[in-house]
Structure 1
Amino acid sequence: MTDARPQVSVVVPARDAGGHLPDALGSLRRQGLDPRDLEVVVVDDGSTDDTQRVLEEASDRMPALRWVHHRTPRGVSAARNRGVREARGRWVTFLDPDDWYLPGHLAAMLDAARSTDADFLVCDQVQAYGGERRRVRAPEPRRYVRLDPRTGILPTSRSTMVNYVQVSSRFVSRRVVDAGLVAFDEDLPTAEDREWAWRLLLGTERYAVVDAPGYVYRRQVGGSLTDIGDVRQVGFLDAYGVVLDRLRGEAGLARYEPKVLRDVLAVLHHHVARRAVYPDDVWDVMSTRARRLLDRFEPADRAAQRTAIGPERARAIRRQGVTV
């Protein structure tokens, strides 16, 4: 009996996405795949706008499209997880509703997946600032070869694949989905993509980076988390706390702890530079939680990373109530 499952499932979490969703869905019609090889699963996460109408209109043109609803919003991680549970494809990937794929992207990813037999693939992205486009390459120069995922974590001193966290850049095999590695941590309020990137690199055996056309990441979207100054921004501390728990729960992973510490300091310095957008009560939470997380690291590691980030950044962080 022939297995009729599609080759590729695209999971789209959507909440009040009616304005941008037509662009995302429209791009999925230009992917160079046989319609039988594509499945699009949209999870409407409690939308109150015209998302439902957009989906109904799109279904007339997209036989691969189906959708499910959450009556009340559960968050992007729960929406993605629901989509993954619904997905039937041999390969699963993601697309946020305000982004889109360049033409032929999924066909290129599928070809690379077949040729490399990797557990997952990673592609480059294009960032869209209004009419301006900037290509951002994944920080791994070796392309179309199978790599040990853990080589994508170090060195501590520079941005690596574990820092390239965009969910839509991943193209994940069914065996990884079935192993439970693709599920997002629904307890994390934000920064779930950071923990997820670590989990894929730690939990799989082989991956590859490819020069597919890529996806377009729409920047400067109104209401984006990157622009807000509320307590949700503290979520990165929770995410790195989960990663640290993982490293300390398995033998042989302690060598990656300085990388976690360095990344925590880098993100914290980013927030220090934006201190003016945070009310004092929010910053009190940020600084208290940051001190608590930093206290989990060995003093020698903290001293080494304090030296590595330089005195100016260390002073900037300290002035805002966090001793590195």
Structure 2
Amino acid sequence: MSPLLSIVLPVHGVERFLPQCLDSLRADTAAPGEVELIAVDDLSPDGCGAILDAYAARDERMRVLHLTVNQGLGGAREAGLAEAHGRYVWFVDSDDWLPEGALDAVLAELRAEEARAEGPADVLLTGFTHVYNDGSTEPNPWRRVLAGSPLVEGCTAAEHPALFNSVLAVWNKIVRRDFLTGLGVSFGRGYYEDISVTYPVLLAAGRLRYLDRPCYHYRRGRPGAITATASPKHADAFAQYDAIFAFLDRDERAAALRTLVFDRTVKQALTVYDTPGLVPVELRAAFFGRIAEHFERHRPAGYRFPSGARGVQYRLAARGARRAYAELRRGGRLPGAVKRSTRAVAPGVKKAVRSSARFTAYNTFRRLPLDRNLAVYAAYWHRGYACNPAAIYEKAKELAPQVRGVWVVENRERAAALPAGVPYVIVNTPAYLKAMATAKYFVNNVNFPHTMAKRAGTVHVQTQHGTPLKAMGMDLRDRPGAADGMDFDRLLEGVARWDYLVSPNPHTSTEFSRAFPGRYELLETGYPRNDRLANATPEECAAVRERLGIAAGQRTVLYAPTHRENRGGFVELLDLPELARRLGPGHTLLVRAHYFHTGGPGDLTAGPDAAEIVDVSAHPVVEDLYLAADVLVTDYSSMMFDYAVLDRPVAIFAPDWEEYRRVRGVYFDLSAEPPGPFATEPEALAEALLAGDPEPAVRAKFRERFCPWDDGRAAERVVSRVFPVRK
């Protein structure tokens, strides 16, 4: 008997994410032969092919197709579908992954569908979760359209047309294979390749069902994603639209929804056109012309424009009136002739003005004089008050009090976590737009958004946030698995804004000067964030330990592994309860997951005769943890360089060192030049920790190389160079 479900997995250039995806495709309840996994290596330029073969060798469900010519995402899906035998097929993207238990839940639903007297559903839609680069998540934003609707029990698209207001990607739709292959449709080539299948599938299905459970983790905003990449390929959408309407022309079941589909395609095309940085400047006129052609070619008979602002925009797009459309979007104003022809939709014009107000306000604020006593601070993509920018802010208040500092945070929750009295603005509010448009000084440990253009006379200080062991910036050009689609042209645009780049040590000066080529001044000052470590007193360390609840006399070990590009969340390379047992009750084991990861480090339950294990992943100030710890255990994290300032033992646990240096690339051989014991086996790590301080000479050599400027005055040196310091 054929399998119940075929999972088709197109793979190209996702070495960083592939293991997590493959590991997630597990089903505890599946019967033998019930699931088959067809992975399509689309001539991937990195190590994906080898990873697939290794997994297939130990997973009898899995077959690997190695294509000899790159087919693109659509072509790879078609190749996988041709090999599928399952009664249902699920197209999973290899940079995403399934939550625990998701595949079991889907299989249970499919079994129930096949047992129905009226026959199985043609399509099972599932819930999903958006996951962002910083580890934050967003529940399915279209759940209200799907849950509580006729879809839960089963219906057609005509019975629930609001379905087309939800996500139309293929990855949350499990489709009956015979139904799909009988439609005579195929995935397109280039961008937006799946809509030429998903629209027909939804339109023609005799029965659609929705499983109100998050069964898919969709990775949003990663570098290289089409929603964040400038490319002429965005025009590929029009070929997919043509395929959709060709299907509508030959399928009577779908014809009744032609107007709805047309509106949805126009909305998508205009969204792509309006999104900054997607359609290259030199191609924007041609892209807008394609939208006008789309109107002429596919507008349904008797079509009526929508009301309100959208109707105004559609009218201008249908006429090819690009200049009038641009004027409306930028300033909320229409040329007189166009305005007179659209008086009937004046309320819509007002709504369009509101929708473009943010862009207009920013450009209006940019006409104001620079505020020479205003500095904007941010850290870690607007996550809060931290790192080098926080140390510079504190020192600037002391040495240049006339310069007002304001912090950018992403939302009110982040704002509430700021220290008392720290001024802030929230992203995309009028106060934020004015600050970004008028401040003279900008201090960040990552880049500010590229949409916030640099004004003449402003001063940008890039602090970065760690001494690099791993390859960075332009050094990743020949490492596609680690670069993950990085836009190197955009990176160079960001570097061109920098006036100063802060360096913590000579090693970093050398590597960053090559990885981030630019005309900035290199500030060889040491890291301001490490001043606190250099100036720490025994009293401060004791106070921190007390606040963390660490009992007096406990030897405290801080375990802090870094993020790995070729894996997903917290990687359990170390059995923490077993390490706690080996260390014994005289120890406290603090565990800190990387801020990219969600879900924490898993089970931390230790026995009665073991060290206490405490998850400190959510503790907001990492320097507190440094001061509390007697020893640091890490792998490739830049934390080792900061912690070395304290001159306390550091142990490296790196069982995957060879894989890491191959995938990511490194600037020196950590196994030959570690800050302390270098262990690849848990037993050796435990022995090193129990030995106390086994390699002080090794640490001294490490500190000499990486901590020569850490004298507690780095922030003072930065502020004195950048700001007008009062004598």
Is the CA contact 1:32–1:104 (under 8 Å) kept in the aligned structure 2?
no
| SS of equivalent to 2:306 | helix
Comparing 84-93 with 251-260, greater Cα deviation is found at: 251-260
Is the CA contact 1:258–1:305 (under 8 Å) kept in the aligned structure 2?
no
The answer for the alignment partner of 2:468 in structure 1 is none
The answer for the alignment partner of 1:165 in structure 2 is 168
**Alpha-carbon offset, residue 300 of structure 1:** 5.2
Is the CA contact 2:9–2:91 (under 8 Å) kept in the aligned structure 1?
yes
Q: Residue type matched to 2:4 in 1?
A: Q
Is the CA contact 1:261–1:305 (under 8 Å) kept in the aligned structure 2?
no
| SS of equivalent to 1:167 | coil
Is the aligned partner of 1:129 residue 2:129?
A: no
Q: Residue type matched to 1:198 in 2?
A: Y
d(CA) in 2 for partners of 1:304 and 1:269? 15
Is the CA contact 2:5–2:90 (under 8 Å) kept in the aligned structure 1?
yes
d(CA) in 1 for partners of 2:45 and 2:193? 24
The answer for the alignment partner of 2:18 in structure 1 is 21
| SS of equivalent to 2:75 | helix
Q: What pairs with 1:242-257 in structure 2 (closer than 5 Å)?
A: 242-251=243-252, 253-257=254-258
**Alpha-carbon offset, residue 75 of structure 1:** 1.2
Is the CA contact 1:306–1:314 (under 8 Å) kept in the aligned structure 2?
no
The answer for the alignment partner of 2:203 in structure 1 is 202
**Alpha-carbon offset, residue 31 of structure 1:** 5.4
| SS of equivalent to 1:77 | helix
d(CA) in 2 for partners of 1:235 and 1:321? 25
Question: Which residue of 181, 184, 199 corresponds with 2:186?
Answer: 184
d(CA) in 2 for partners of 1:307 and 1:238? 29
Distance 1:161 1:105, change over 3 A: farther
**Alpha-carbon offset, residue 92 of structure 1:** 1.2
d(CA) in 1 for partners of 2:302 and 2:183? 36
d(CA) in 1 for partners of 2:170 and 2:278? 27
Q: Pick the structure with greater CA Rg.
A: 2
**Alpha-carbon offset, residue 55 of structure 1:** 1.3
RMSD: 2.8
Q: What pairs with 1:74-113 in structure 2 (closer than 5 Å)?
A: 74-113=71-110
Is the CA contact 2:73–2:193 (under 8 Å) kept in the aligned structure 1?
no
**Alpha-carbon offset, residue 310 of structure 1:** 4.6
d(CA) in 2 for partners of 1:262 and 1:100? 32
Is the CA contact 1:6–1:38 (under 8 Å) kept in the aligned structure 2?
yes
Distance 1:112 1:22, change over 3 A: same
**Alpha-carbon offset, residue 237 of structure 1:** 2.2
The answer for the alignment partner of 2:68 in structure 1 is 71
d(CA) in 2 for partners of 1:299 and 1:93? 36
Distance 1:202 1:162, change over 3 A: farther
Comparing 50-59 with 91-100, greater Cα deviation is found at: 50-59
d(CA) in 2 for partners of 1:247 and 1:180? 11
The answer for the alignment partner of 2:112 in structure 1 is 115
The answer for the alignment partner of 1:34 in structure 2 is 31
The answer for the alignment partner of 1:217 in structure 2 is 218
Question: Which residue of 144, 148, 154 corresponds with 1:146?
Answer: 154
Is the aligned partner of 1:54 residue 2:51?
A: yes
The CA deviation string for residues 69-94 of structure 1, in whole angstroms up to 9 with x for no partner, is: 11120111111111111112222112
Distance 1:276 1:12, change over 3 A: closer
Q: Which structure is higher in RCO with an 8 Å CA cutoff and minimum separation 6? A: 1
Q: TM-score, normalised by structure 1?
A: 0.85
Distance 1:234 1:177, change over 3 A: same
Q: Residue type matched to 1:20 in 2?
A: F
**Alpha-carbon offset, residue 275 of structure 1:** 4.7
The answer for the alignment partner of 1:283 in structure 2 is 284
**Alpha-carbon offset, residue 190 of structure 1:** 2.3
Distance 1:319 1:306, change over 3 A: farther
d(CA) in 2 for partners of 1:284 and 1:312? 16
> Aligned residues: percent identity?
23
Is the CA contact 2:157–2:202 (under 8 Å) kept in the aligned structure 1?
yes
Q: Residue type matched to 2:30 in 1?
A: L
| SS of equivalent to 1:29 | coil
d(CA) in 2 for partners of 1:123 and 1:203? 18
Q: Residue type matched to 2:51 in 1?
A: V
Question: Which residue of 169, 172, 177 corresponds with 1:174?
Answer: 177
Is the CA contact 1:163–1:194 (under 8 Å) kept in the aligned structure 2?
no
**Alpha-carbon offset, residue 42 of structure 1:** 0.2
Q: Residue type matched to 1:169 in 2?
A: N
Q: Which runs of 5+ in 1 are unaligned?
A: none
Is the CA contact 2:305–2:311 (under 8 Å) kept in the aligned structure 1?
no
Is the CA contact 2:204–2:254 (under 8 Å) kept in the aligned structure 1?
no
The answer for the alignment partner of 1:264 in structure 2 is 265
Comparing 311-320 with 271-280, greater Cα deviation is found at: 311-320
Q: Residue type matched to 1:221 in 2?
A: R
Give the helix-richer structure, 1 or 2: 1
**Alpha-carbon offset, residue 123 of structure 1:** 0.4
Distance 1:256 1:223, change over 3 A: same
d(CA) in 2 for partners of 1:119 and 1:194? 17
Q: TM-score, normalised by structure 2?
A: 0.40
Comparing 215-224 with 28-37, greater Cα deviation is found at: 28-37
Q: Residue type matched to 2:47 in 1?
A: D
| SS of equivalent to 2:174 | strand
The CA deviation string for residues 230-264 of structure 1, in whole angstroms up to 9 with x for no partner, is: 21111222222222233234446544232133213
**Alpha-carbon offset, residue 174 of structure 1:** 3.5
Is the CA contact 1:92–1:172 (under 8 Å) kept in the aligned structure 2?
yes
Is the CA contact 2:41–2:48 (under 8 Å) kept in the aligned structure 1?
yes
d(CA) in 2 for partners of 1:149 and 1:17? 34
Q: Which runs of 5+ in 2 are unaligned?
A: 114-119, 326-337, 343-727
Comparing 124-133 with 308-317, greater Cα deviation is found at: 308-317
d(CA) in 2 for partners of 1:191 and 1:167? 10
Distance 1:268 1:171, change over 3 A: closer
| SS of equivalent to 1:73 | coil
d(CA) in 2 for partners of 1:9 and 1:104? 17
